[in-house]
């Protein structure tokens, strides 16, 4: 199956290109002159703000399209993720801590908020959001500290709160999350361009939804505190803040029917779905039948890998009516439950290895599992290839696939086989893709 890889490589490339942050912003504006033209012709001022790992290249695209309209801008990115803008650009790029927020992020967010206080009703705030934005855009509610927020986060994770519960609390101890950034931008209009790193693209979850109405309440936050008996475990200031909020002593986060949202529009400009659909189109162009099954894949990587192998086998045996040669496209993001001691790998490599074990001996199947950011787990690979020969080729090198899977040691096996997918860092992140080729 190795010989097929160069043929299908462009299909992966097409998917990654479709969600390149700079290209996604340009493409979006090209496709939506109804948004771009008013910005180009506005008599008001244009402020460009944003936070996220991909927000620097997004700003670059905005700078190119709207250069002379931009009054000022602040973009907060992860350390090492800034990119030079043209000399004289009014957009300032500030690096800060991720995934743990730090003082640099706090200062940058304060500066960003100060910028928003200059806006008038004639102005537009263009907000560039991408994955990581929640940690980078960080400003505790009045009376709370960054340390309070971090301690709260750790306790919530430790007691097993769900991500929805954690987000409910987070949004009610922050001055910018859960739509509060949009509030701060008033009376200007707000256009948020969002690169989604959350499966299913829930607007209120991506980067904690700084410009999105928050359906959750202080009362719900307090219920969660009580449910987990956190009154004594959380910082006292946090408990007091939430209780006061519950009693109506703090303003609620803006809700879906809040009139401010008549001035706010949120657009997903890049997502797993965009990447997956680009892969499907590219596969069709390359002569494959292609079908995008879902971008909602979640679950334990190795188990998902077995299901992917099952889908390939069903196709290969012609069990249904789907024609060959077929490229099935799936997307989402899996997780790995690590057992100690463990080796080196990532969720996509682990999925590929589990799929390879299930596919041993099967002909005419090739599966690619990759993270769109180019870094699968703590490795320099985006993912790996799996086919019916993987296990046998590894065995010939003295590497047992099952043992490697059991020890979360996929990287070295795939490296030895030259079966890692190496894209280099893509500077975007719209989760993971799975391409299943059967012919």
**Is residue 396 within the footprint of its own copies (CB under 8 A)?**
no
Q: What is the CA radius of gyration of the chain?
A: 23
**Is residue 313 within the footprint of its own copies (CB under 8 A)?**
yes
Nearer to its own copies, 118 or 164 (CB): 164
Residues in region 175-194 near its own copies by CB under 8 A: none
**Is residue 304 within the footprint of its own copies (CB under 8 A)?**
yes
x/- string (CB under 8 A) for its own copies, residues 253-292? --------------------x--xx--x----------xx
Minimum gap (Å) between residue 405 Cβ and its own copies = 13
x/- string (CB under 8 A) for its own copies, residues 343-382? ---------------x------------------------
Question: For residue 398, how many other CB atoms are within 10 A of its CB?
Answer: 7
Q: Which of 264, 268, 297, 368 binds its own copies (CB under 8 A)?
A: 297
**Is residue 323 within the footprint of its own copies (CB under 8 A)?**
no
x/- string (CB under 8 A) for its own copies, residues 83-122? ----------------------------------------
Nearer to its own copies, 34 or 319 (CB): 319
**Is residue 303 within the footprint of its own copies (CB under 8 A)?**
yes
Give the list of residues 6+ apart from residue 432 with CB closer than 8 angstroms, or none: 272, 297, 331, 332, 333, 334, 347, 348, 369, 370, 371, 372, 383
**Is residue 295 within the footprint of its own copies (CB under 8 A)?**
yes
How many amino acids of this chain bind its own copies (CB under 8 A)? 35
Applying CB under 8 A, which residues contact its own copies? Answer: 162, 200, 273, 276-277, 280, 291-300, 303-304, 306-307, 309-311, 313-315, 319-322, 329-330, 332, 358, 402
């Amino acid at each position: 199956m190795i010989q097929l890889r160069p043929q299908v490589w462009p299909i992966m490339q097409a998917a990654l290109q479709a969600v390149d942050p700079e290209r996604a912003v340009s493409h979006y504006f090209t496709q939506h002159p109804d948004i771009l033209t008013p910005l180009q012709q506005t008599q008001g001022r244009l402020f460009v703000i944003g936070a996220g790992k991909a927000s620097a290249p997004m700003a670059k695209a905005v700078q190119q399209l709207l250069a002379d309209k931009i009054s000022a801008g602040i973009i907060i990115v992860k350390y090492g993720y800034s990119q030079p803008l043209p000399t004289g650009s009014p957009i300032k790029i500030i690096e800060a801590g991720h995934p743990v927020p730090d003082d640099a992020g706090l200062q940058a967010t304060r500066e960003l908020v100060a910028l928003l206080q200059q806006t008038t009703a004639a102005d537009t705030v263009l907000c560039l959001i991408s994955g990581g934005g929640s940690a980078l855009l960080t400003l505790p509610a009045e009376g709370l500290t960054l340390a309070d927020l971090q301690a709260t986060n750790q306790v919530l994770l430790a007691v097993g709160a769900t991500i929805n519960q954690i987000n409910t609390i987070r949004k009610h101890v922050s001055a910018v999350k859960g739509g509060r950034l949009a509030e701060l931008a008033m009376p200007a209009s707000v256009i948020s361009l969002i690169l989604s790193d959350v499966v299913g693209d829930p607007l209120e979850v991506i980067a904690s939804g700084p410009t999105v109405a928050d359906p959750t309440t202080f009362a719900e936050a307090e219920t969660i505190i009580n449910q987990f008996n956190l009154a004594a475990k959380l910082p006292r200031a946090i408990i007091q803040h939430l209780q006061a909020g519950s009693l109506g002593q703090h303003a609620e986060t803006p809700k879906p029917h809040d009139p401010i949202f008549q001035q706010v529009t949120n657009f997903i400009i890049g997502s797993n779905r965009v990447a997956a659909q680009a892969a499907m189109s590219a596969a069709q162009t390359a002569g494959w039948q292609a079908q995008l099954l879902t971008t909602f894949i979640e679950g334990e990587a190795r188990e998902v890998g077995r299901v992917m192998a099952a889908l390939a086998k069903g196709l290969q045996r012609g069990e249904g009516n789907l024609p060959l040669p077929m490229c099935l496209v799936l997307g989402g993001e899996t997780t790995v439950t690590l057992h100690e001691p463990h080796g080196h790998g990532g969720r996509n490599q682990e999925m590929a290895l589990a799929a390879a074990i299930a596919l041993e001996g099967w002909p005419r199947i090739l599966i690619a599992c990759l993270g769109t950011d180019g870094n699968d787990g703590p490795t320099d690979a985006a993912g790996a290839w799996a086919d019916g020969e993987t296990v046998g080729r590894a065995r010939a090198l003295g590497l047992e696939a099952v043992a490697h899977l059991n020890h979360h040691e996929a990287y070295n096996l795939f490296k030895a086989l030259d079966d890692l997918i190496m894209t280099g860092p893509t500077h975007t992140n719209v989760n993971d893709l799975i391409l299943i080729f059967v012919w």
